[in-house]
Every structure is written in C-alpha cells, then in structure tokens.
Amino acid sequence: MSTTVMATNSNYWEDLRKQARQLENELDLKLVSFSKLCTSYRGGHDQQERDSRSESFGPFQDNVLVAMTSEVEQLLSKLSAVNDKMAEYTNTPGALSHNAALMHTLQRHRDILQDYTHEFHKTKSNFLSLREREDLLGSVHRDIESYKSSSGVNNRRSELFLKEHEHLRNSNSLIDNAISIAMATKENITFQRGMLKSIQTRVTTLANRFPAINNLIQKINLRKRRDSLILGGVIGICTILLLLYTFH
C-alpha cells in the first residue's frame, strides 16, 4: 500500500514537472515573438515613414500586441499555479525523504518563472515607453505641418497688422507735431498780445500826461478817417463810372 502511494505521489510530481516544462517552453516562444513584435513597432527613421506604418499596420499590430500580452500573462499565471502545487507537494509526508532534491527542482522552476516574469514586464515597459514617444513625436510633427500650412495666411495677416501699426504710429507722430505747432503758436500769440497791451498802456499813459499829444493824436485819427472816406468815395465813383462804361 505504501509503495502504491509513493508511486502515485511520484507520478503526480512528474506530471507537475511535465506541465511546468511545457508552460516554460511555451512562454519562451511567446516571449521571443512578443519581443520581436515590440521591436518592430519602432518602424522607419523619418516621420513620413512612421506615419505610413502607423496608418497601414498600427491598428492590426496593436490588436496582436494586446492578444499576445494576454496570452503571456495567462501562461505566467498557469506556471505560477503549477509551482504552487509543486511547493504543496514538497510538504506532503511521502515527499519528505526526497525533500532536498524536490526543493532544488522547485527552486529552479521558480527561478525560471521569475526570469520570464521579469523579461515580460521589462519588454512591455520598453514597448509602452516607445509607443508613447512615437505618439508624442507624431503629435509634434502634425502640429508643425499644420503650422506650416497656415503660415502663409498668418504671414499675410502679420504684414497687414504691421502696416496698420506703422500707419497708426505715423498718424500719432503727425498729431504730436500738429499739437506742438499749435502750442508754440498759442504761446507766440499770447506773448504778442502782452506786448501790444503794454504798448497801448504806455501810449495811453503818455496821452494822459501830455494833453497836446492827446489832441494831436485825435487830429491824426480824424484826418485818417477823412482820408479814408475820401478814398472810399473816389473808389466808389470810379467803380460806378467803370460799370456804366462797360454796359454802354
């Protein structure tokens, strides 16, 4: 009976080892394919080639990457479960006599699982960083192309704005000059007005002090008025005679 139990336990252990080796082989192949697929995502060296690749192959490649990622994660989960079962088996009473050899084998399978897990996460992380960089470069390139396509219109608008700004600046300069001239003219007129007032005041003062001079000035003014009236009458008569001569 004991021999039968030991044989059964031995077969169980061998089945677990067989499952572990099979999963490890599948993981090895999947990880190689996964790494190649992530590396192929790099595409061409210039942006035009990357954009062409992204439009033609990008969606299909993304779907394949998602499916392969799920498959690798499932295989890692299955291999971890098999390792847990192997660890449970090493603690059974029938396996105590071979515990050292079993623990050595279990540790080797655990190391393989750890290596595969580390490699998978490293490749996945590098791929995500690369795709993020590619998306960023593509976005920047599209922004540059959009700016270049609209640069002609923007340059035309900038030229119009600059011309309008120059026109406004010239207008402001002309207005400032006109204001300066007006202020200078006002100051000059104010100065002349003050001088005339001063002269008038002096003449009035002299006339009040010297009555003879005042009378002389009045006579001069009367003579000027008389001469003006005579001159106006002569001009009027000459004008009438000229009109009569013209119409006759």
Most confident of 66-70, 170-174, 176-180, 187-191: 66-70
Please count the CA atoms within 13 angstroms of the CA of 185 that sit on its side-chain side. 6
User: pLDDT at residue 74 above 80?
Assistant: yes
Residue carrying the six token digits 């690749």: 53
Among 41-55, 123-137, 144-158, name the most confident range: 123-137
Smallest Cα–Cα separation from 94: which of 191, 6, 222? Answer: 6
Structure tokens at 235: 């001009």
Read off the pLDDT band of 118 (50, 70, 90).
Answer: very high
pTM score of the predicted model:
0.49
Which residue would you say has higher pLDDT here, 84 or 52?
84
pLDDT, greater one: 206 or 151: 206
Length of the chain in terms of residues written:
248
Tell me how crowded residue 175 is: count the other CB atoms within 10 A of its CB: 10
The DSSP 8-state label assigned to residue 96 in this structure reads G
Residue 245 CA to residue 125 CA, distance in Å, equals 118
- Give the Cα separation of 16 and 22 in Å (integer): 10
The tokens of 111 are what? Answer: 């190391």
Per-residue model confidence (pLDDT) at position 152? 56
206-230, pLDDT tens digit by residue?
A: 666 666 666 777 788 888 888 888 8
Among the residue ranges 53-62, 112-121, 139-148, the one predicted with the least confidence is 53-62
User: What is the structure's pLDDT at 160?
Assistant: 80
- Domains, the chain, ordered by start: 1-44+60-136 (1.20.58)
Place 44 in a pLDDT band, splitting at 50, 70 and 90. very low
Q: What percent of the chain has pLDDT over 70?
A: 73
